[in-house]
Amino acid sequence: MKDLQDLNPNPLTKKEYFVVSSMLFGLFFGAGNLIFPIHLGQLAGSHWVLATVGFLVTAVLLPLLSVLAVSVTRSEGVYDIGVPLGSVFALVFMVLIHLTIGPLFGTPRTATVPFTVGVQPMLPASWAHVGLFVFSVLFFGAAFLVSYHQSNVMNSVGKLLNPLFLLLLFSVFLMGLFILWVLPHTRQPRLLINMPAFLMAFFRVITQWTR
């Protein structure tokens, strides 16, 4: 029981809990979490409830469990989590995790998705590669400045970037509802045929992570 005692002499206030929650949401929420559920709903059709459960298991529950695992074990990183299974396993596990969320899959997409959606349509086709390079330099430079000092990440993301993102996201939703009201679409959803809705959503989220 002694090991389970709170080691923080100054418990967080409700305001600080809100900021931490905002930071976690901002760190985990990505383009796939915004775009993919809509596409998933179109595929699921009337089976959207099971599809939603499958999506929530992989896109919400698993990331939350990872945060809880770090918190409960009081680990300082991925390596510490794997140490009980051996130093070799911990090292390999840490390298694979960082490669997956880093240069192999996650990191490049953080620049290419906003460039493709927000910048490339405004550029001539011949400027696409140069534009992507310039945008990537500016994007990752800004990300470096925000995250270089770890003590400022909670304030930068939780108090500034994520509230601003939620405001912009709410504006996009309002615009979407307005367009849907003015120009209603008649496209019918494609129903699931060969796979249960839950499994389809579960595995599609996993494959989305690795793209």
Rounded-to-integer distance, Cα 92 and Cα 102, Å: 15
* Lowest mean pLDDT across 16-30, 33-47, 99-113, 177-191: 177-191
pLDDT for residue 136: 92
Q: Which residue has the higher pLDDT, 201 or 101?
A: 101
Q: Which residue has the higher pLDDT, 123 or 45?
A: 123
The mean pLDDT value for 127-134 works out to 91
The mean pLDDT value for 177-189 works out to 65
What is the band of 194 on the pLDDT scale with cuts at 50, 70, 90? Answer: low
56 close to 200: Cβ distance less than 8 angstroms: no
The mean pLDDT value for 173-180 works out to 78
Give residues with Cβ within 8 angstroms of 166, minimum separation 6.
Answer: none
pLDDT tens, residue by residue, 1-27 = 445 555 556 677 788 888 888 888 887
What the block records as the tokens of 195 is 């796979």
Q: 206 pLDDT exceeds 60?
A: no
167 close to 32: Cβ distance less than 8 angstroms: no
Where in the chain are the domains? 29-145+157-209
Q: 199 pLDDT exceeds 70?
A: no
Q: 210 pLDDT exceeds 50?
A: no
